[in-house]
Structure 1
Amino acid sequence: MTDAQNIWKAILNELELTVTRANFATWLKCTHLIEALDTTLVVGAPNIFTKDWVEKKFNEQILKTAQKLTKNYIKKIEYKVVSPAATKNIVAPNVSVEHFIAQKQAVQQASQQQTNSDLSARYVFDNFVRGKNNELAHAASVAVADMPGLRYNPLFLYGGVGLGKTHLMHAIGHAILIKNPKAKVVYVTSEKFTNDYVRSVSRGTMEQFKQHYRTADVLLIDDVQFLAGKEATAEEFFHTFNELHQNNRQLVLTSDKLPKMIANLEGRLITRMEWGMIADISSPDMETRLAILQMKCREKNFSIANDVLHFIAEAISENIRELEGFLNHLTAYHEIRGTAATLESTKTLLANMYPQQQTTGLTPKRVLAVVSEFFDVSLNDILGQSRKKELVMPRQIAMFLLRDTIKYSYPSIGLALGGRDHTTAMHACNKVQSEISRDEKIKQNIQSIKQKLYSQSVSVS
């Protein structure tokens, strides 16, 4: 090992002590020194996403550490995309498989103390890929894991199906257990919370129910939107929330929409859900989807050509769960046959899994029904002539989605929306498109509606 390589190893050792374990494992551990040019270190990253992120977020810290270790001899750090397998145009593991095995073992050992926590060992911070779509949610989750009950309480994560809310929730639980194996971490879906409550009422075991949930150090509740309309369960959750919050016990909640947009949820619950930090997770951009695929390939120790990964990332754009599911299918297919994944085989498998593509099967009736349900307004109101503010935006979004998802013409959109003129449809689509670029709430609403449309469409294919 050269002196320069020793310096870089020392820099990484210092950084490992000063940044969070999740940040180090995700962004810094996979870097390597390419060369030392006098007072400049040239650092290699496995992909453009990692390069840009390290350069933007960690350069100042890296440079200060380098100057500290070299007595200010190093003046500059440069970054380049250089994969160990770059000459073959293949994405190879940059973090060892042993690393992921060790992480999983640490999680399992910590979880042995918590046999009832129901946390999945697959979901940890180390294998969560950050991007613009989830940056705030990830940062807030790491902060909560570092100081449960003291930073953001409750932490409310919202976004569409399969975007990583549950992953972050489980990762928080694991990180807390690794630091404090004796902590009582309870993970539960709102459906299970409801079933446990109903069962305790029918069996006369309410004290056991309260003892289980109200003594948790960390309570993680998934899909709280399903508590809406369940008055008795919501009442019990209200008291559980108060008990935990007053004693600085951490609550983490997830939903597919903002608290105030959950229909039939009590105002006092909405208020409490908004007390802490609210962070959204939107659909991942191309770079994030590609980074996710590369991370999963490293975990599986399975090499896939970059052009194949790009094709997958472009073909499956809305749902991370579907993205990972297809990658699992692809790797299993080729591992069984002992062959390499090619662009041709990938296209064939994708066509077999989604023979009609996601939007096939969508009809104007379905789009309107999902929009009506999402905004909790009647279909007649959307089709009607009322100009009330609470109806105009859902109506315009319905027009936009007819254009965006099933490529309806403006005259056809006008007819589908109660016989309106095509210019009305054109104006609505342009307005919504403009609002998306400047109103994060509207953007998130449309993404959530698309998630519902696509998941329904795939299920009937």
Structure 2
Amino acid sequence: MSITAQTVWNNCLKFIKDNIQPQAYKTWFEPITAVKLTDNALSIQVPSKFFYEWLEEHYVKLLKVSLTKELGEKAKLVYVIKMENTYGNKQPFTEKIPSSNRSAVKSQEVDIPLNNKNPELRNPFVIPGIRNVKIESQLNPNYSFENFLEGDSNRLARSAGLAVASKPGGTSFNPLLIFGGVGLGKTHLAHAIGVDIKDKYPEKTVLYISAEKFTQQYIDSVKKNNRNDFIHFYQIIDVLIIDDVQFLSGKTGTQDVFFHIFNHLHQNGKQVILTSDKAPVDMQDIEQRLLSRFKWGLSAELQTPDFETRVSILKNKLYRDGVEMPEEIIDYVAKNIKTNVRELEGAIISLIAQSSFNKKEITIDLARVIVEKFVKNTKREVSIDYIQKVVSDYFQMDVDTLQSKTRKRHIVQARQLAMFFAKKFTKASLASIGSQIGKRDHATVLHACKTVDNLTSTDKQFRKYVEDITKKLSV
């Protein structure tokens, strides 16, 4: 029996799966496909250059061991990277790079340059004297990497941010899109990257701006008939940070001008950093050509911090404010406020203030009162776990049944309703919703939402389900 690329790769995957965490395997190895096997060289296709760089940095030894087991000491690994040409050519092109395993030659031979940078390319829209104009970065120096604590919920985004800050425009993370729910630190991280770049590269022009303000500036430029000046100004920025890019939704004129600015910056090796409350796949009323560019680099999600990270955040906040607090009170606050970092820090500030103003000792009873009031007075963001529990209770089944693989109609409908309400009431991406509700993919969630919409308009009984559960989740 002749061995094939797929056979070799499948055997490698079995070995790899036994040696890393399940989530890491799913993220970094499931998307890879075997392409061909030539002599002792296995070619694998990866989704992006970022993927290649991450594998080489974190898993090269594991890949080498697994491949050597299959093909012997002379084994080689070739990465095939497919991506879109920045000059508007829609045909994907391929780059082949030999893996940097110990037996391979250190120099990398690249068939087609990935960045398409032309050193002779100059900005054709030069405004006389504009280089002499000092551009204020609009960055907040209080938002730094030092006080953006690392945890499982933000490790990828933070690591990518540090990489961009060290080499702006020189990594595959361009653009870097940071997305996640309210209060999880998107703006903080975006500022931290900018602050670090300004510290390391004082000569670079860095600009932070909200998408809302960017839109207003564009509208003003159209009114004053100086649209070209607006474009030219943004084309000279070295690092452009746009916060809440989902705000461009439905604004076709602003999207069009941003498209041209983005292309110019990207082609000239400038860095673009974006934040959004949702992943590109979930963005509505954003032009496809713009969404495709958002996907060129890295989309990194900030998730709700786990208990350990919440405790670290509180301790760091107290340390910076020079306040001491008993461990049990810190644990109590961290256990009871789970939604986001902003609420967590807000609760601890309220607790310190109450203690200071009323000259009361910080006790567990005082913490209980403050936390209860704080949670009650804060708009609650419903969690996916809570939604699954409410839907399961409504249909008198347990959550495990809801998440199961069964195709029984009433269970399928309950699962689809849970997905529908998760999309409606949370900021989670479709992929994240699917993962938490029975390990489904984002296409299943999208189908579930469409099914619920259709049944709500055609089935009276189903419409009652939706109304009843909506009331329970809105309480």
Tell me the TM-score normalized by structure 1: 0.57
Unaligned residue ranges in structure 2 (runs of 5+): 1-57, 59-132, 399-407, 420-432, 447-470
RMSD of aligned residue pairs (Cα, Å): 3.6
Three-state SS of the structure 2 residue aligned to 1:125 is: coil
Give the C-alpha shift of residue 125 in structure 1: 0.2
User: Which letter maps to 1:141?
Assistant: G
User: 2: CA distance between counterparts of 1:443 and 1:253?
Assistant: 27
User: Which letter maps to 2:166?
Assistant: D
1:349 pairs, out of 370, 379, 383, with 370
User: Which letter maps to 1:147?
Assistant: K
- Does the alignment pair 1:146 with 2:166? yes
Aligned to 2:89: none
User: Which letter maps to 1:145?
Assistant: A
Aligned to 1:309: 330
Instruction: Decide which moves more: 135-144 or 121-130.
Output: 121-130
Aligned to 1:320: 341
Q: Is the 8 A contact 1:411 1:422 kept in 2?
A: no
Distance 1:225 1:433, change over 3 A: closer
1:264 pairs, out of 277, 282, 285, with 285
User: Which letter maps to 2:139?
Assistant: L
- Does the alignment pair 1:127 with 2:147? yes
Give the C-alpha shift of residue 329 in structure 1: 1.6
Distance 1:444 1:411, change over 3 A: closer
Three-state SS of the structure 2 residue aligned to 1:157 is: strand
2:198 pairs, out of 169, 177, 181, with 177
User: Which letter maps to 2:318?
Assistant: C
Residues 416-431 of structure 1: matches in 2 within 5 Å? Answer: 423-425=411-413
Aligned to 2:224: 203
Aligned to 2:157: 137
Three-state SS of the structure 1 residue aligned to 2:146 is: helix
Residues 16-415 of structure 1: matches in 2 within 5 Å? Answer: 116-151=136-171, 152-355=173-376, 402-404=387-389, 408-410=393-395
Distance 1:296 1:441, change over 3 A: farther
Q: Is the 8 A contact 1:403 1:410 kept in 2?
A: no
Q: Is the 8 A contact 2:143 2:188 kept in 1?
A: yes
Distance 1:162 1:440, change over 3 A: farther
Give the C-alpha shift of residue 172 in structure 1: 0.4
Question: Cα deviations across residues 263-317 of structure 1 (Å, max 9, x unaligned)?
Answer: 1111111111111111111111111111111111111111111111111111110
Distance 1:336 1:242, change over 3 A: same
User: 2: CA distance between counterparts of 1:130 and 1:231?
Assistant: 37
Distance 1:427 1:353, change over 3 A: closer
Give the C-alpha shift of residue 219 in structure 1: 0.3
User: 2: CA distance between counterparts of 1:422 and 1:138?
Assistant: 42
User: 1: CA distance between counterparts of 2:258 and 2:374?
Assistant: 40
Instruction: Decide which moves more: 185-194 or 200-209.
Output: 200-209
Give the C-alpha shift of residue 207 in structure 1: 3.6
User: Which letter maps to 1:302?
Assistant: V
Question: Cα deviations across residues 16-75 of structure 1 (Å, max 9, x unaligned)?
Answer: xxxxxxxxxxxxxxxxxxxxxxxxxxxxxxxxxxxxxxxxx9xxxxxxxxxxxxxxxxxx
User: Which letter maps to 1:352?
Assistant: K
Distance 1:128 1:196, change over 3 A: same
Question: Cα deviations across residues 354-403 of structure 1 (Å, max 9, x unaligned)?
Answer: 3377659x8xxxx9xxxxxxxxxxxxxxxxxxxxxxxxxxxxx8xx8644
Unaligned residue ranges in structure 1 (runs of 5+): 1-56, 58-112, 368-396, 414-419, 446-456
Give the C-alpha shift of residue 421 in structure 1: 7.5
Provide the aligned length of Structure 1 versus Structure 2.
296
Q: Is the 8 A contact 2:180 2:301 kept in 1?
A: yes
User: 1: CA distance between counterparts of 2:416 and 2:260?
Assistant: 44
Three-state SS of the structure 2 residue aligned to 1:309 is: helix
User: 2: CA distance between counterparts of 1:272 and 1:291?
Assistant: 36
Question: Cα deviations across residues 112-138 of structure 1 (Å, max 9, x unaligned)?
Answer: x97732212221000011111110000
User: 1: CA distance between counterparts of 2:443 and 2:415?
Assistant: 17
Three-state SS of the structure 2 residue aligned to 1:283 is: coil
Aligned to 2:41: none
More helix by share: 1
User: 1: CA distance between counterparts of 2:311 and 2:209?
Assistant: 31
User: 1: CA distance between counterparts of 2:210 and 2:192?
Assistant: 16
Distance 1:156 1:297, change over 3 A: same
User: 2: CA distance between counterparts of 1:243 and 1:220?
Assistant: 15
Q: Is the 8 A contact 2:137 2:206 kept in 1?
A: yes
Three-state SS of the structure 2 residue aligned to 1:307 is: helix
User: 1: CA distance between counterparts of 2:147 and 2:175?
Assistant: 24
Distance 1:292 1:217, change over 3 A: same
Q: Is the 8 A contact 2:184 2:303 kept in 1?
A: yes
Distance 1:192 1:427, change over 3 A: closer
Give the C-alpha shift of residue 180 in structure 1: 2.1
User: Which letter maps to 1:409?
Assistant: Y
User: Which letter maps to 1:163?
Assistant: L
User: 2: CA distance between counterparts of 1:440 and 1:312?
Assistant: 34
Q: Is the 8 A contact 2:168 2:239 kept in 1?
A: yes
Q: Is the 8 A contact 2:314 2:348 kept in 1?
A: yes
User: 1: CA distance between counterparts of 2:445 and 2:345?
Assistant: 22
Distance 1:199 1:434, change over 3 A: closer
User: 2: CA distance between counterparts of 1:215 and 1:269?
Assistant: 20
Q: Is the 8 A contact 1:159 1:165 kept in 2?
A: yes
